Amino acid sequence: MSDDASTAPALPSAIDTLERPAAERLAGLAQRAPEAVFAGSIERVGVVEDVGDGVAGVSTIPGTRFGELLRFPGDVRGIVFDLDRDVTGCVLLGEDECIDAGDLVRRTGEIVRVPVGPGLIGRVINPEGRPLDGGDPPDAETYEPIERPAPAIFDRAPVNRPLQTGIKSIDSMIPVGRGQRELIVGDRSTGKTAIAVDAIINQRDADVVCIYVGIGQRTSATAGVLAALKRHGALDYTVAVVADADDPAGLVFIAPYAACTIGEHFCRQGRDVLIVYDDLTKHAQAYRQVSLLLRRPPGREAYPGDIFYIHSRLLERATQLADDAGGGSLTALPIVETQAGNISAYIPTNLISITDGQIFLNADLFYHGFKPAVDIGRSVSRVGGQAQRTAMRRIAGPLRLGYTQFEELEIFTRFGARVEEATRVKIERGRRIRQVLNQPRFEPLPLPDQVVVLLAVTEGLADAVPLSDIPRMEHLLRRAVSEGLPKVAASIAAGDELTDEDRTALIDLMRTTIDGDFGEAKKNGDAPTE
Protein backbone atom coordinates (compact mmCIF):
# COMPACT_ATOMS: atom_id res chain seq x y z
CA MET A 1 0.00 0.00 0.00
CA SER A 2 1.34 3.44 -0.89
CA ASP A 3 2.14 6.18 1.58
CA ASP A 4 -0.53 8.37 0.00
CA ALA A 5 -3.17 5.81 0.73
CA SER A 6 -2.02 5.33 4.30
CA THR A 7 -2.06 9.05 5.04
CA ALA A 8 -5.45 9.73 3.31
CA PRO A 9 -8.13 11.05 5.62
CA ALA A 10 -10.85 8.59 6.67
CA LEU A 11 -14.17 8.84 4.83
CA PRO A 12 -16.96 10.31 6.92
CA SER A 13 -19.45 7.78 8.26
CA ALA A 14 -23.10 7.89 7.18
CA ILE A 15 -24.24 8.98 10.61
CA ASP A 16 -21.87 11.97 10.53
CA THR A 17 -23.43 13.22 7.32
CA LEU A 18 -26.92 13.28 8.81
CA GLU A 19 -28.38 16.19 10.58
CA ARG A 20 -28.39 15.94 14.35
CA PRO A 21 -32.10 15.16 14.85
CA ALA A 22 -32.02 12.44 12.20
CA ALA A 23 -28.92 10.90 13.70
CA GLU A 24 -30.52 10.72 17.11
CA ARG A 25 -33.60 9.01 15.66
CA LEU A 26 -31.48 6.44 13.86
CA ALA A 27 -29.54 5.69 17.03
CA GLY A 28 -32.82 5.09 18.91
CA LEU A 29 -34.04 2.65 16.29
CA ALA A 30 -30.80 0.75 16.46
CA GLN A 31 -31.17 0.31 20.21
CA ARG A 32 -34.72 -1.05 19.87
CA ALA A 33 -34.00 -3.39 16.92
CA PRO A 34 -33.36 -6.55 19.02
CA GLU A 35 -36.79 -6.17 20.60
CA ALA A 36 -38.64 -5.84 17.28
CA VAL A 37 -40.71 -8.78 16.04
CA PHE A 38 -40.95 -9.49 12.31
CA ALA A 39 -44.72 -9.55 11.61
CA GLY A 40 -44.68 -10.19 7.87
CA SER A 41 -45.28 -13.50 6.06
CA ILE A 42 -44.56 -15.02 2.70
CA GLU A 43 -47.63 -15.86 0.63
CA ARG A 44 -47.62 -17.79 -2.62
CA VAL A 45 -50.27 -16.59 -5.02
CA GLY A 46 -51.38 -17.36 -8.53
CA VAL A 47 -52.82 -15.28 -11.31
CA VAL A 48 -56.09 -15.89 -13.13
CA GLU A 49 -55.25 -16.77 -16.73
CA ASP A 50 -58.83 -17.21 -17.99
CA VAL A 51 -62.28 -17.48 -16.46
CA GLY A 52 -65.80 -18.19 -17.64
CA ASP A 53 -68.80 -20.56 -17.39
CA GLY A 54 -67.99 -21.57 -13.83
CA VAL A 55 -64.36 -22.61 -14.34
CA ALA A 56 -61.06 -20.75 -14.15
CA GLY A 57 -57.49 -21.34 -15.24
CA VAL A 58 -54.88 -20.20 -12.70
CA SER A 59 -51.13 -20.05 -13.05
CA THR A 60 -49.87 -22.99 -11.06
CA ILE A 61 -49.08 -22.18 -7.42
CA PRO A 62 -46.29 -24.34 -5.96
CA GLY A 63 -47.58 -26.87 -3.43
CA THR A 64 -51.18 -26.84 -4.64
CA ARG A 65 -52.99 -30.17 -4.16
CA PHE A 66 -55.86 -31.78 -6.04
CA GLY A 67 -59.17 -30.97 -4.37
CA GLU A 68 -57.75 -27.98 -2.47
CA LEU A 69 -59.79 -24.81 -2.14
CA LEU A 70 -58.44 -21.63 -3.70
CA ARG A 71 -59.76 -18.18 -2.83
CA PHE A 72 -60.65 -15.81 -5.66
CA PRO A 73 -61.65 -12.13 -5.51
CA GLY A 74 -65.11 -11.48 -4.14
CA ASP A 75 -64.70 -14.29 -1.58
CA VAL A 76 -65.43 -16.88 -4.28
CA ARG A 77 -63.91 -20.29 -3.68
CA GLY A 78 -62.79 -22.79 -6.28
CA ILE A 79 -61.84 -26.47 -6.18
CA VAL A 80 -58.64 -27.61 -7.87
CA PHE A 81 -59.69 -30.13 -10.54
CA ASP A 82 -56.67 -30.23 -12.86
CA LEU A 83 -52.99 -29.93 -12.00
CA ASP A 84 -50.75 -29.13 -14.96
CA ARG A 85 -47.25 -27.75 -15.12
CA ASP A 86 -48.29 -24.22 -16.04
CA VAL A 87 -52.05 -23.87 -15.45
CA THR A 88 -54.29 -25.21 -12.67
CA GLY A 89 -57.91 -25.87 -13.61
CA CYS A 90 -60.46 -24.83 -10.97
CA VAL A 91 -64.20 -25.32 -10.66
CA LEU A 92 -65.80 -22.27 -9.05
CA LEU A 93 -68.35 -22.56 -6.24
CA GLY A 94 -69.70 -19.06 -6.83
CA GLU A 95 -70.47 -16.61 -9.59
CA ASP A 96 -67.55 -15.48 -11.74
CA GLU A 97 -68.73 -11.94 -12.58
CA CYS A 98 -66.30 -10.39 -10.10
CA ILE A 99 -63.30 -12.38 -11.37
CA ASP A 100 -61.12 -11.13 -14.24
CA ALA A 101 -57.95 -12.29 -15.90
CA GLY A 102 -54.94 -11.02 -13.97
CA ASP A 103 -56.60 -11.21 -10.54
CA LEU A 104 -54.62 -12.79 -7.73
CA VAL A 105 -55.62 -16.20 -6.36
CA ARG A 106 -54.58 -17.47 -2.94
CA ARG A 107 -54.24 -20.94 -1.47
CA THR A 108 -56.28 -21.87 1.58
CA GLY A 109 -54.67 -25.20 2.44
CA GLU A 110 -58.18 -26.59 3.04
CA ILE A 111 -60.62 -28.93 1.31
CA VAL A 112 -64.39 -28.56 1.00
CA ARG A 113 -66.11 -29.18 4.33
CA VAL A 114 -69.76 -29.03 5.33
CA PRO A 115 -71.37 -28.42 8.73
CA VAL A 116 -72.90 -31.50 10.39
CA GLY A 117 -75.00 -32.10 13.47
CA PRO A 118 -78.60 -32.07 14.74
CA GLY A 119 -78.78 -28.32 14.17
CA LEU A 120 -79.24 -28.98 10.45
CA ILE A 121 -82.47 -30.97 10.87
CA GLY A 122 -85.41 -28.93 9.61
CA ARG A 123 -83.17 -26.54 7.65
CA VAL A 124 -82.70 -25.82 3.95
CA ILE A 125 -79.06 -25.20 3.05
CA ASN A 126 -76.85 -25.06 0.00
CA PRO A 127 -73.96 -27.53 -0.49
CA GLU A 128 -71.57 -25.19 1.38
CA GLY A 129 -73.84 -25.14 4.43
CA ARG A 130 -75.22 -21.64 3.90
CA PRO A 131 -78.90 -21.22 4.83
CA LEU A 132 -81.48 -20.89 2.06
CA ASP A 133 -84.56 -20.70 4.30
CA GLY A 134 -83.98 -17.16 5.52
CA GLY A 135 -82.74 -18.26 8.95
CA ASP A 136 -79.45 -17.90 10.74
CA PRO A 137 -76.51 -20.11 9.83
CA PRO A 138 -77.22 -23.62 11.16
CA ASP A 139 -75.66 -24.73 14.43
CA ALA A 140 -72.91 -27.19 13.59
CA GLU A 141 -71.23 -29.68 15.89
CA THR A 142 -68.25 -29.72 13.57
CA TYR A 143 -67.26 -29.48 9.91
CA GLU A 144 -66.44 -32.65 7.97
CA PRO A 145 -65.00 -33.16 4.46
CA ILE A 146 -67.51 -33.94 1.73
CA GLU A 147 -65.27 -36.68 0.33
CA ARG A 148 -64.40 -39.74 2.40
CA PRO A 149 -63.78 -43.42 1.68
CA ALA A 150 -66.73 -45.80 1.76
CA PRO A 151 -66.96 -48.03 4.87
CA ALA A 152 -64.76 -51.12 4.78
CA ILE A 153 -66.28 -54.58 4.39
CA PHE A 154 -65.59 -55.48 8.02
CA ASP A 155 -67.43 -52.33 9.15
CA ARG A 156 -70.60 -53.38 7.35
CA ALA A 157 -73.44 -55.64 8.46
CA PRO A 158 -76.12 -57.51 6.47
CA VAL A 159 -79.19 -55.58 5.38
CA ASN A 160 -81.94 -57.25 7.43
CA ARG A 161 -84.25 -54.44 8.52
CA PRO A 162 -86.97 -53.01 6.27
CA LEU A 163 -87.37 -49.38 5.36
CA GLN A 164 -91.10 -48.99 4.78
CA THR A 165 -91.98 -46.56 2.00
CA GLY A 166 -95.73 -46.76 2.65
CA ILE A 167 -96.30 -47.59 -1.05
CA LYS A 168 -98.07 -50.92 -1.53
CA SER A 169 -96.43 -51.92 -4.81
CA ILE A 170 -92.93 -51.24 -3.47
CA ASP A 171 -93.19 -52.62 0.07
CA SER A 172 -94.80 -55.82 -1.22
CA MET A 173 -92.89 -56.66 -4.40
CA ILE A 174 -89.80 -54.37 -4.50
CA PRO A 175 -88.95 -53.99 -0.80
CA VAL A 176 -86.18 -51.67 0.38
CA GLY A 177 -83.94 -52.53 3.33
CA ARG A 178 -82.14 -50.12 5.60
CA GLY A 179 -78.67 -49.65 4.16
CA GLN A 180 -79.72 -50.50 0.61
CA ARG A 181 -79.23 -48.49 -2.60
CA GLU A 182 -82.44 -48.67 -4.64
CA LEU A 183 -82.52 -46.74 -7.91
CA ILE A 184 -85.70 -44.96 -9.05
CA VAL A 185 -85.65 -44.77 -12.85
CA GLY A 186 -88.16 -43.47 -15.37
CA ASP A 187 -88.99 -40.83 -17.95
CA ARG A 188 -89.57 -37.21 -17.10
CA SER A 189 -92.77 -36.45 -15.15
CA THR A 190 -93.67 -40.05 -14.35
CA GLY A 191 -93.68 -39.69 -10.56
CA LYS A 192 -90.08 -40.45 -9.57
CA THR A 193 -89.81 -37.62 -7.05
CA ALA A 194 -93.33 -38.39 -5.77
CA ILE A 195 -92.24 -41.88 -4.71
CA ALA A 196 -89.21 -40.48 -2.88
CA VAL A 197 -91.27 -37.80 -1.14
CA ASP A 198 -93.86 -40.37 -0.04
CA ALA A 199 -91.04 -42.51 1.37
CA ILE A 200 -89.82 -39.51 3.39
CA ILE A 201 -93.32 -38.72 4.66
CA ASN A 202 -93.75 -42.35 5.75
CA GLN A 203 -90.78 -42.04 8.14
CA ARG A 204 -92.78 -39.72 10.39
CA ASP A 205 -92.90 -42.19 13.32
CA ALA A 206 -89.94 -44.37 12.35
CA ASP A 207 -87.11 -42.32 13.95
CA VAL A 208 -85.34 -42.00 10.60
CA VAL A 209 -83.39 -38.86 9.67
CA CYS A 210 -84.21 -37.95 6.07
CA ILE A 211 -82.12 -35.92 3.65
CA TYR A 212 -83.48 -34.55 0.39
CA VAL A 213 -80.89 -33.41 -2.15
CA GLY A 214 -82.11 -31.23 -5.02
CA ILE A 215 -79.47 -31.50 -7.74
CA GLY A 216 -79.82 -29.08 -10.63
CA GLN A 217 -83.63 -28.97 -10.46
CA ARG A 218 -85.79 -26.00 -11.37
CA THR A 219 -86.35 -23.65 -8.47
CA SER A 220 -90.12 -24.07 -8.77
CA ALA A 221 -89.87 -27.87 -8.66
CA THR A 222 -87.65 -27.78 -5.57
CA ALA A 223 -89.98 -25.31 -3.88
CA GLY A 224 -92.90 -27.66 -4.55
CA VAL A 225 -91.10 -30.57 -2.91
CA LEU A 226 -90.15 -28.52 0.15
CA ALA A 227 -93.70 -27.21 0.46
CA ALA A 228 -95.07 -30.76 0.37
CA LEU A 229 -92.62 -31.91 3.04
CA LYS A 230 -93.52 -28.97 5.25
CA ARG A 231 -97.26 -29.43 4.72
CA HIS A 232 -97.09 -33.04 5.91
CA GLY A 233 -94.75 -32.35 8.83
CA ALA A 234 -91.82 -34.18 7.22
CA LEU A 235 -89.48 -31.18 7.24
CA ASP A 236 -89.21 -31.52 11.02
CA TYR A 237 -86.94 -34.56 10.60
CA THR A 238 -85.46 -33.72 7.19
CA VAL A 239 -82.37 -31.85 6.02
CA ALA A 240 -82.75 -30.29 2.56
CA VAL A 241 -79.57 -29.66 0.55
CA VAL A 242 -80.39 -27.68 -2.57
CA ALA A 243 -78.36 -26.68 -5.62
CA ASP A 244 -80.73 -25.29 -8.26
CA ALA A 245 -80.25 -25.28 -12.00
CA ASP A 246 -79.29 -21.59 -11.78
CA ASP A 247 -76.42 -22.28 -9.38
CA PRO A 248 -72.85 -22.73 -10.61
CA ALA A 249 -72.06 -26.20 -11.91
CA GLY A 250 -69.49 -26.63 -9.15
CA LEU A 251 -72.18 -26.32 -6.45
CA VAL A 252 -74.39 -28.77 -8.32
CA PHE A 253 -71.53 -31.24 -8.51
CA ILE A 254 -70.65 -31.22 -4.80
CA ALA A 255 -74.29 -31.28 -3.58
CA PRO A 256 -74.73 -35.08 -3.23
CA TYR A 257 -71.33 -35.51 -1.57
CA ALA A 258 -72.09 -32.79 0.97
CA ALA A 259 -75.47 -34.34 1.75
CA CYS A 260 -73.91 -37.79 2.12
CA THR A 261 -71.43 -36.43 4.67
CA ILE A 262 -74.31 -34.98 6.69
CA GLY A 263 -76.06 -38.35 6.61
CA GLU A 264 -72.92 -40.27 7.57
CA HIS A 265 -72.56 -38.14 10.69
CA PHE A 266 -75.93 -39.40 11.98
CA CYS A 267 -75.22 -42.92 10.73
CA ARG A 268 -72.02 -43.22 12.79
CA GLN A 269 -74.02 -42.21 15.86
CA GLY A 270 -76.31 -45.22 15.41
CA ARG A 271 -79.17 -43.38 13.65
CA ASP A 272 -81.01 -44.62 10.56
CA VAL A 273 -80.80 -42.23 7.61
CA LEU A 274 -82.71 -42.06 4.31
CA ILE A 275 -81.17 -39.91 1.59
CA VAL A 276 -82.80 -39.03 -1.74
CA TYR A 277 -80.61 -37.88 -4.65
CA ASP A 278 -82.87 -35.95 -7.03
CA ASP A 279 -81.43 -36.56 -9.52
CA LEU A 280 -78.10 -38.02 -10.62
CA THR A 281 -78.78 -37.34 -14.29
CA LYS A 282 -78.40 -33.62 -13.61
CA HIS A 283 -75.34 -34.40 -11.49
CA ALA A 284 -73.68 -36.24 -14.38
CA GLN A 285 -74.52 -33.40 -16.75
CA ALA A 286 -72.94 -30.84 -14.40
CA TYR A 287 -69.78 -32.94 -14.21
CA ARG A 288 -69.71 -33.30 -17.99
CA GLN A 289 -70.04 -29.52 -18.33
CA VAL A 290 -67.10 -28.66 -16.10
CA SER A 291 -64.99 -31.49 -17.54
CA LEU A 292 -65.44 -30.31 -21.11
CA LEU A 293 -64.74 -26.70 -20.10
CA LEU A 294 -61.50 -27.88 -18.49
CA ARG A 295 -60.64 -29.64 -21.77
CA ARG A 296 -60.75 -33.14 -20.37
CA PRO A 297 -61.00 -35.88 -23.02
CA PRO A 298 -64.65 -36.79 -23.72
CA GLY A 299 -65.87 -40.36 -23.93
CA ARG A 300 -69.22 -41.98 -24.60
CA GLU A 301 -72.01 -39.39 -25.00
CA ALA A 302 -69.30 -36.74 -24.31
CA TYR A 303 -69.07 -37.78 -20.65
CA PRO A 304 -65.53 -38.01 -19.21
CA GLY A 305 -64.05 -41.44 -18.64
CA ASP A 306 -64.41 -41.30 -14.85
CA ILE A 307 -68.18 -40.67 -14.82
CA PHE A 308 -68.76 -44.17 -13.41
CA TYR A 309 -66.36 -43.50 -10.57
CA ILE A 310 -67.99 -40.25 -9.42
CA HIS A 311 -71.28 -42.09 -8.85
CA SER A 312 -69.87 -45.33 -7.47
CA ARG A 313 -67.78 -43.54 -4.85
CA LEU A 314 -70.95 -41.72 -3.76
CA LEU A 315 -73.37 -44.65 -3.64
CA GLU A 316 -70.89 -47.04 -2.03
CA ARG A 317 -71.10 -44.88 1.10
CA ALA A 318 -74.66 -46.14 1.67
CA THR A 319 -74.50 -49.05 4.12
CA GLN A 320 -75.71 -50.81 7.20
CA LEU A 321 -72.89 -50.39 9.73
CA ALA A 322 -71.86 -53.12 12.12
CA ASP A 323 -72.42 -52.54 15.82
CA ASP A 324 -68.70 -51.90 16.39
CA ALA A 325 -68.79 -49.13 13.76
CA GLY A 326 -71.87 -47.38 15.15
CA GLY A 327 -74.72 -49.64 14.06
CA GLY A 328 -76.53 -46.99 12.01
CA SER A 329 -77.68 -47.23 8.42
CA LEU A 330 -77.61 -44.98 5.37
CA THR A 331 -80.24 -45.89 2.76
CA ALA A 332 -79.94 -44.24 -0.65
CA LEU A 333 -82.73 -43.63 -3.15
CA PRO A 334 -80.96 -42.17 -6.20
CA ILE A 335 -83.16 -40.96 -9.05
CA VAL A 336 -82.19 -41.10 -12.72
CA GLU A 337 -84.13 -39.84 -15.73
CA THR A 338 -84.50 -41.82 -18.96
CA GLN A 339 -85.64 -40.83 -22.42
CA ALA A 340 -88.44 -42.89 -23.98
CA GLY A 341 -87.89 -45.58 -21.35
CA ASN A 342 -84.37 -46.33 -22.58
CA ILE A 343 -82.65 -47.85 -19.56
CA SER A 344 -79.69 -48.92 -21.71
CA ALA A 345 -78.43 -45.33 -21.97
CA TYR A 346 -75.02 -44.57 -20.50
CA ILE A 347 -75.90 -43.05 -17.12
CA PRO A 348 -78.88 -45.34 -16.30
CA THR A 349 -76.79 -48.39 -17.18
CA ASN A 350 -73.98 -47.24 -14.90
CA LEU A 351 -76.30 -46.60 -11.98
CA ILE A 352 -78.19 -49.89 -12.41
CA SER A 353 -74.87 -51.73 -12.17
CA ILE A 354 -73.90 -49.82 -9.00
CA THR A 355 -77.16 -50.06 -7.07
CA ASP A 356 -78.92 -53.02 -5.40
CA GLY A 357 -82.03 -52.87 -7.57
CA GLN A 358 -84.27 -50.45 -9.41
CA ILE A 359 -87.85 -49.23 -9.31
CA PHE A 360 -88.82 -48.68 -12.95
CA LEU A 361 -91.67 -46.28 -13.73
CA ASN A 362 -93.60 -46.91 -16.94
CA ALA A 363 -94.83 -43.85 -18.83
CA ASP A 364 -97.74 -45.77 -20.41
CA LEU A 365 -99.04 -46.82 -16.99
CA PHE A 366 -98.72 -43.24 -15.78
CA TYR A 367 -100.67 -41.79 -18.69
CA HIS A 368 -103.40 -44.42 -18.22
CA GLY A 369 -103.89 -43.22 -14.64
CA PHE A 370 -102.13 -46.01 -12.73
CA LYS A 371 -100.06 -44.25 -10.08
CA PRO A 372 -97.47 -44.89 -8.89
CA ALA A 373 -96.68 -46.20 -12.35
CA VAL A 374 -94.34 -48.96 -11.17
CA ASP A 375 -93.52 -51.55 -13.83
CA ILE A 376 -93.36 -54.68 -11.69
CA GLY A 377 -91.85 -56.82 -14.43
CA ARG A 378 -88.85 -54.53 -14.94
CA SER A 379 -88.32 -53.62 -11.29
CA VAL A 380 -86.25 -55.63 -8.84
CA SER A 381 -84.83 -55.48 -5.33
CA ARG A 382 -81.71 -57.58 -4.85
CA VAL A 383 -81.50 -57.11 -1.08
CA GLY A 384 -84.76 -55.91 0.44
CA GLY A 385 -86.55 -59.27 0.37
CA GLN A 386 -84.26 -60.45 3.15
CA ALA A 387 -85.45 -57.54 5.28
CA GLN A 388 -89.14 -57.83 4.46
CA ARG A 389 -91.64 -58.33 7.28
CA THR A 390 -92.80 -61.94 7.58
CA ALA A 391 -96.48 -61.16 7.09
CA MET A 392 -95.78 -59.22 3.91
CA ARG A 393 -93.35 -61.82 2.60
CA ARG A 394 -96.02 -64.53 2.68
CA ILE A 395 -98.30 -62.36 0.55
CA ALA A 396 -95.63 -61.02 -1.82
CA GLY A 397 -95.02 -64.32 -3.64
CA PRO A 398 -98.63 -65.04 -4.71
CA LEU A 399 -99.17 -61.33 -5.37
CA ARG A 400 -96.28 -60.99 -7.80
CA LEU A 401 -97.09 -64.30 -9.51
CA GLY A 402 -100.73 -63.36 -10.01
CA TYR A 403 -99.87 -59.90 -11.32
CA THR A 404 -97.22 -61.23 -13.71
CA GLN A 405 -99.63 -63.82 -15.13
CA PHE A 406 -102.26 -61.13 -15.55
CA GLU A 407 -99.91 -58.92 -17.58
CA GLU A 408 -99.18 -61.82 -19.94
CA LEU A 409 -102.82 -62.88 -20.31
CA GLU A 410 -104.24 -59.39 -20.70
CA ILE A 411 -102.69 -59.15 -24.15
CA PHE A 412 -105.19 -61.74 -25.46
CA THR A 413 -108.18 -59.68 -24.35
CA ARG A 414 -107.05 -56.71 -26.42
CA PHE A 415 -107.82 -58.59 -29.62
CA GLY A 416 -111.23 -59.83 -28.46
CA ALA A 417 -110.07 -63.42 -28.09
CA ARG A 418 -112.31 -65.77 -26.12
CA VAL A 419 -110.60 -67.32 -23.12
CA GLU A 420 -111.54 -70.16 -20.81
CA GLU A 421 -113.08 -69.57 -17.41
CA ALA A 422 -109.87 -70.13 -15.40
CA THR A 423 -108.05 -67.60 -17.57
CA ARG A 424 -110.88 -65.10 -17.24
CA VAL A 425 -110.71 -65.38 -13.45
CA LYS A 426 -106.97 -64.70 -13.47
CA ILE A 427 -107.47 -61.66 -15.69
CA GLU A 428 -110.24 -60.23 -13.50
CA ARG A 429 -108.21 -60.82 -10.35
CA GLY A 430 -105.17 -59.19 -11.95
CA ARG A 431 -107.20 -56.12 -12.79
CA ARG A 432 -108.21 -55.80 -9.17
CA ILE A 433 -104.63 -56.24 -8.04
CA ARG A 434 -103.57 -53.42 -10.35
CA GLN A 435 -106.40 -51.26 -9.06
CA VAL A 436 -105.41 -51.97 -5.44
CA LEU A 437 -101.82 -51.01 -6.20
CA ASN A 438 -103.07 -47.56 -7.21
CA GLN A 439 -102.33 -45.13 -4.43
CA PRO A 440 -102.89 -41.37 -4.12
CA ARG A 441 -99.87 -39.16 -3.67
CA PHE A 442 -98.90 -38.13 -0.12
CA GLU A 443 -100.92 -41.00 1.39
CA PRO A 444 -98.43 -43.69 2.45
CA LEU A 445 -100.01 -46.62 4.26
CA PRO A 446 -98.77 -48.36 7.41
CA LEU A 447 -97.78 -52.01 7.10
CA PRO A 448 -100.95 -53.55 8.65
CA ASP A 449 -103.21 -51.68 6.22
CA GLN A 450 -101.11 -52.86 3.27
CA VAL A 451 -101.19 -56.49 4.42
CA VAL A 452 -104.96 -56.42 4.89
CA VAL A 453 -105.75 -55.04 1.44
CA LEU A 454 -103.24 -57.17 -0.45
CA LEU A 455 -104.34 -60.33 1.34
CA ALA A 456 -107.93 -59.64 0.29
CA VAL A 457 -107.12 -59.47 -3.43
CA THR A 458 -104.70 -62.42 -3.43
CA GLU A 459 -107.33 -64.61 -1.71
CA GLY A 460 -109.91 -63.66 -4.32
CA LEU A 461 -112.20 -61.86 -1.87
CA ALA A 462 -112.43 -58.87 -4.20
CA ASP A 463 -113.11 -60.80 -7.43
CA ALA A 464 -116.77 -59.70 -7.50
CA VAL A 465 -116.16 -56.11 -6.41
CA PRO A 466 -116.51 -53.58 -9.26
CA LEU A 467 -113.26 -51.86 -10.14
CA SER A 468 -114.75 -48.47 -9.39
CA ASP A 469 -115.54 -49.62 -5.84
CA ILE A 470 -112.04 -50.89 -5.02
CA PRO A 471 -110.98 -47.68 -3.17
CA ARG A 472 -114.13 -47.86 -1.00
CA MET A 473 -113.48 -51.55 -0.33
CA GLU A 474 -109.95 -50.73 0.84
CA HIS A 475 -111.24 -48.14 3.28
CA LEU A 476 -113.86 -50.52 4.69
CA LEU A 477 -111.38 -53.37 5.16
CA ARG A 478 -108.78 -51.21 6.88
CA ARG A 479 -111.35 -49.79 9.27
CA ALA A 480 -112.89 -53.21 9.97
CA VAL A 481 -109.54 -54.81 10.88
CA SER A 482 -108.34 -51.88 13.01
CA GLU A 483 -111.59 -52.01 15.00
CA GLY A 484 -112.29 -55.75 14.98
CA LEU A 485 -108.78 -57.25 15.21
CA PRO A 486 -106.52 -54.60 16.76
CA LYS A 487 -104.16 -57.19 18.29
CA VAL A 488 -103.57 -58.79 14.89
CA ALA A 489 -102.88 -55.38 13.36
CA ALA A 490 -100.42 -54.57 16.15
CA SER A 491 -98.71 -57.92 15.68
CA ILE A 492 -98.23 -57.24 11.95
CA ALA A 493 -96.86 -53.76 12.68
CA ALA A 494 -94.35 -55.24 15.12
CA GLY A 495 -93.06 -57.58 12.43
CA ASP A 496 -94.39 -60.78 13.98
CA GLU A 497 -95.28 -63.74 11.82
CA LEU A 498 -98.91 -63.97 10.76
CA THR A 499 -100.08 -67.24 12.30
CA ASP A 500 -102.62 -69.51 10.62
CA GLU A 501 -105.21 -68.58 13.25
CA ASP A 502 -104.69 -64.86 12.69
CA ARG A 503 -104.74 -65.33 8.92
CA THR A 504 -108.03 -67.23 9.13
CA ALA A 505 -109.54 -64.60 11.41
CA LEU A 506 -108.49 -61.84 8.99
CA ILE A 507 -109.95 -63.61 5.96
CA ASP A 508 -113.24 -64.34 7.73
CA LEU A 509 -113.60 -60.72 8.87
CA MET A 510 -112.78 -59.35 5.43
CA ARG A 511 -115.15 -61.76 3.71
CA THR A 512 -117.95 -60.71 6.03
CA THR A 513 -117.20 -57.03 5.39
CA ILE A 514 -117.13 -57.45 1.61
CA ASP A 515 -120.27 -59.60 1.54
CA GLY A 516 -122.09 -57.05 3.64
CA ASP A 517 -121.37 -54.16 1.29
CA PHE A 518 -120.90 -55.84 -2.09
CA GLY A 519 -123.03 -58.95 -1.61
CA GLU A 520 -125.50 -58.16 -4.36
CA ALA A 521 -122.83 -58.01 -7.03
CA LYS A 522 -121.37 -61.29 -5.83
CA LYS A 523 -124.79 -62.93 -5.55
CA ASN A 524 -125.65 -62.03 -9.13
CA GLY A 525 -122.35 -63.41 -10.35
CA ASP A 526 -121.26 -60.05 -11.71
CA ALA A 527 -117.60 -59.62 -12.49
CA PRO A 528 -117.39 -56.10 -13.83
CA THR A 529 -114.49 -55.39 -16.11
CA GLU A 530 -112.79 -52.20 -17.13
Scanning 117-191, the segments in alpha helix (DSSP H) are: 168-173
pLDDT tens digits, 353-380: 999 999 999 999 999 899 999 999 899 9
Confidence of residue 418 (pLDDT cuts 50, 70, 90): confident
CATH of domain 391-523: 1.20.150.20
What pLDDT, on a 0 to 100 scale, did the predictor assign at position 525?
46
* Superfamily for the 114-388 domain: P-loop containing nucleotide triphosphate hydrolases (3.40.50.300)
Nearest alpha carbon to residue 268 among 320, 333, 315, 313? 320
The pLDDT, as a whole number, for residue 274 is: 98
Q: pLDDT for 229-286, tens place per residue?
A: 999 999 999 999 999 999 999 999 999 999 999 999 999 999 999 999 999 999 999 9
Question: Which pLDDT belongs to residue 42?
Answer: 74
Residue ranges covered by each domain of the chain = 45-110, 114-388, 391-523
Residue 416 confidence (pLDDT): 64
Question: Looking at residues 7-28, what average pLDDT do you find?
Answer: 52
- Distance of CA 401 to CAs 165, 451, 459, 464, Å? 22, 16, 13, 20
Question: What per-residue confidence (pLDDT) applies to 362?
Answer: 93
Task: Give the residue-averaged pLDDT of 184-210.
Answer: 95
In 3-state terms, what secondary structure has residue 326?
Answer: coil
**Cα 347 from Cα 370, distance rounded (Å):** 27
The Cα–Cα gap between 303 and 300 comes to 6
Average pLDDT, the chain: 89
pLDDT in tens, 469-504: 999 999 999 999 999 999 999 999 988 888 899 999
Q: Which member of 204, 382, 393, 441 is catalytic?
A: 382
**Among the four given CATH numbers 2.60.120.200, 3.40.120.10, 3.40.30.10, 2.40.30.20, the one describing domain 45-110:** 2.40.30.20
Element counts in the chain: helices (H) and strands (E):
17, 17
Q: Which residues pair with 215 in a beta bridge?
A: 243
Select the more confidently predicted residue: 384 or 333. Answer: 333
Known catalytic membership, residue 382: yes
In this structure, of 36-45, 101-110, 399-408, 481-490, the range with the lowest mean pLDDT score is: 36-45
Under 8 Å between Cβ of 276 and 222: no
What is the pLDDT averaged over residues 14-28?
A: 54
Return the pLDDT at 43.
Answer: 78
d(CA 385, CA 382): 7
